[in-house]
Structure 1
Amino acid sequence: MSEEIKVQLTTQPGEKPDSTNLSFGKFFTDHMFIMDYHKDKGWYDPRIVPYAPIAMDPAAMVFHYGQAVFEGMKAYLTESGKVLLFRPDQNMKRLNRSNERLGIPEVDGEFVIHAIQTLIEVDKSWIPTEKGTSLYVRPFIIATEPCLGVRSSYTYQLIVILSPVGAYYSSGLEPVKINVESSYTRAVRGGIGFAKAAGNYAASIKAQENAKKEGYSQVLWLDAIEKKYIEEVGSMNIFFKIGGTVITPAINGSILEGVTRSSVITLLQEWGVPVEERKLSIEEIYEAYTNGKLEEVFGTGTAAVISPVGELHWNEHTMEINDGKIGEVSQKLYDTITGLQSGHLPDTRNWTLTF
């Protein structure tokens, strides 16, 4: 797509939040990107406009049949004043995998990255610079056709919004407590678990709320069929270091193929750390714990980057990991990935886009 992006600047710039006291996803910049789709025209009319509520027909199909997908990435301001994005091409590939699964038309990933760059340039002054902060980038696509027929919509909007954010967890890089969910199911193979679809997150909310009432930060999901095999955490992929080997569930059609997950696997392999992608049962985790072989557990994702796990609760069992402290591998991964994302470490893998 080569259509020029029209830019309409706001006449009422918003007040920027205190960047030393940012939460996650509560503040939004002055502008947003919008692009429309019609089945007879394809994607058209790319534009940057002032951030504002969007007007939609009450019969818009997204409200009734859930055709909604999204992505998440972060932009950082380097010490030289450049903006840095971490592996945005992988986010675009995953966006199109999600689109395909939900019957949403494919987007031109290179053009969307260009649109994101243009939007960030417009709102560049919103990028926070304190340690642990960034500008969160949220592209999403929704079905907009007013129709109550159960089918793919004929019209869509792709929208990109920006949010200056602090750490995903208010405690920062501190080990979190996670509850292993044994009752509810998030996704099943053959469903939409591998897609970054809004419905996946709706399915996780009840269990997440229950876990928080019990003092846990996140939920660890088991497979839907046997309620036995590890899948992922609510907002992250999950890794276990057992007897020197790092193990993560294999991509199986019901878990998200995370960009940070892929980056972690590559780094571990380069460092000579044994890493396996395979089926992993909760019983195997508990056995490793009782034998003293469960050395580290950590989650990976765009929002939190690396999230060390200090405690796992499964049925009546409480497993304290590494004395509740951050593990050596978790810390090294966090330092390396955030170093690459912020431009403090050299990028020898062409993972970053700087502009």
Structure 2
Amino acid sequence: MTPELTFTTTRTDISVPAGEREQILANPGFGAYFTDHMVTATWTKGQGWHGGEVRPFGPLQISPAAAVLHYAQEVFEGMKAYRHADGSVWTFRPDRNAARMARSCERLALPVLSEEDFVAGIRALVEIDQSWVPAYGTGETSLYLRPFMFASEAFLGVRPANEVTFSVIASPAGSYFPGGLKPITLWISQDYARAGSGGTGAAKCGGNYASSLAGQLEGIAQGCDQAVFLDSSTQTYIEELGGMNLFFVTKDGRLRTPALTGSILEGVTRDSILEIAPDLGLKPEESRIGIDEWKDGVASGEITEVFACGTAAVITPVGELRWDGGSAPSTAGAEGGEITRTIRQALLDIQYGVAEDTRGWMTRLA
């Protein structure tokens, strides 16, 4: 289908000089620098989506009474653009990000942006700022893309906003593990829940991330990297980390992950891993997994590897699990188990155009 939104272009007069940009791309970190332009569009009740524009990156002007500041009506997505060997720029499964944003919008009572308009907005930004996509062969570098939507209407009242802003910004991203894979240590959060039944856990909205921070800080205080959250009703079933899904490899060749219950975010990387698992001789399994299964499975050898997954790191090996009064040892070694590394490399090879894209997951942007 043809996009309904069209994007006019206003080029910046103060783009980052080429030399400075190259210095940034040599060591961009994550989320610290931004490209020269941004995309915006507006939705209003009665008129729908309109006013698509590529414009200079800069502050958004909103009223102090904007509904998002008071009622948190907003959603976002996270994805990457990858440079291939021939210089072209591609992104991974944007249809899945668009579909997830649509589901998030429905849950947060925001207008849905079509897949065609979603991809058109991303493409418009990448086309004008493609010089910000790191060169092929510079490690696991990419251009991180952040589409987001928020209630911009100035109105103090609890109802869906009559004016909404959509935007896309981009930030060059370096290798998540520049010194090689490093297993993370996790803390079981028993005092905090990331989301609850009937809430917004399955939507990608800022409130879910804000609610995970206290548990994360608790984990850091215990010498851990992140926290793993359990179901809010019984505090016995594994859900996810603050921003990543979890997987467990068993000695009989199963690849297990917590089933989607409505309070777990359906990750694009998660979905992709489940799809490619049979190609690697693994049996994917979605089910409720008790935290005691993790503890006992590592101790008995039933669980041979644990890893987390998400857009930023692709796959992160999980090492030691700690909780108040105990710990379970790491199965990850120094750089993660063999299956963890194999799955991770299989995804990276597709994303960077090294392996054939037999499933049609990649979309060319520039």
TM-score w.r.t. length of structure 1 = 0.97
1:307 to 2:310 alignment: no
1:281 to 2:287 alignment: no
- CA 1:181 to 1:167, structure 2 compared with 1: closer, same or farther past 3 Å? farther
1:204 to 2:206 alignment: no
Deviates more, 1:257-266 or 1:112-121: 112-121
1:335 to 2:345 alignment: yes
For residues 226 and 283 of structure 1, what CA distance do their matches in structure 2 show? 13
For residues 282 and 251 of structure 1, what CA distance do their matches in structure 2 show? 16
- What is aligned with 1:96? 102
Superposed CA offset, 1:157-216 (max 9, x none): 000000001134565521111111111011012100000011101101111122223322
- What is aligned with 2:115? 109
From 41, 47, 51, the equivalent of 2:53 is 47
Identity of aligned residues (%): 41
Shift of 1:324: 3.0
Deviates more, 1:42-51 or 1:17-26: 17-26
- What is aligned with 1:252? 261
For residues 67 and 107 of structure 1, what CA distance do their matches in structure 2 show? 15
- CA 1:83 to 1:67, structure 2 compared with 1: closer, same or farther past 3 Å? same
From 133, 136, 146, the equivalent of 2:141 is 133
1:269 to 2:271 alignment: no
Shift of 1:331: 0.3
TM-score w.r.t. length of structure 2 = 0.94
Shift of 1:281: 0.4
Moved over 6 A (4+): none
Query: Are the aligned partners of 1:294 and 1:321 in contact in 2 as well (CA < 8 Å)?
Result: no
- What is aligned with 1:176? 184
For residues 165 and 213 of structure 1, what CA distance do their matches in structure 2 show? 28
- What is aligned with 2:151? 143
Q: Which runs of 5 or more structure 2 residues have no equivalent in the other structure?
A: none
For residues 169 and 191 of structure 1, what CA distance do their matches in structure 2 show? 33
For residues 201 and 48 of structure 2, what CA distance do their matches in structure 1 show? 27
1:240 to 2:248 alignment: yes
Q: Which runs of 5 or more structure 1 residues have no equivalent in the other structure?
A: none
Aligned AA (2:88): K
- What is aligned with 1:118? 124
Aligned AA (2:75): V
Secondary structure of 1:204's counterpart equals: helix
Shift of 1:303: 1.0
For residues 312 and 142 of structure 2, what CA distance do their matches in structure 1 show? 10
From 10, 31, 37, the equivalent of 2:43 is 37
Aligned AA (2:351): Q
From 224, 237, 244, the equivalent of 1:216 is 224
Superposed CA offset, 1:230-264 (max 9, x none): 00011110001122322100011000001000000
**1:335-354 aligned within 5 A:** 335-354=345-364
From 310, 318, 324, the equivalent of 2:333 is 324
Superposed CA offset, 1:59-83 (max 9, x none): 0000000001000000011110111
Query: Are the aligned partners of 1:310 and 1:320 in contact in 2 as well (CA < 8 Å)?
Result: yes
- CA 1:169 to 1:222, structure 2 compared with 1: closer, same or farther past 3 Å? farther
Query: Are the aligned partners of 1:180 and 1:221 in contact in 2 as well (CA < 8 Å)?
Result: yes
Query: Are the aligned partners of 1:74 and 1:134 in contact in 2 as well (CA < 8 Å)?
Result: yes
Shift of 1:19: 2.4
For residues 18 and 39 of structure 1, what CA distance do their matches in structure 2 show? 41
For residues 189 and 197 of structure 2, what CA distance do their matches in structure 1 show? 17
Superposed CA offset, 1:122-143 (max 9, x none): 0000111320110000000010
For residues 105 and 51 of structure 1, what CA distance do their matches in structure 2 show? 24
Query: Are the aligned partners of 2:237 and 2:291 in contact in 1 as well (CA < 8 Å)?
Result: yes
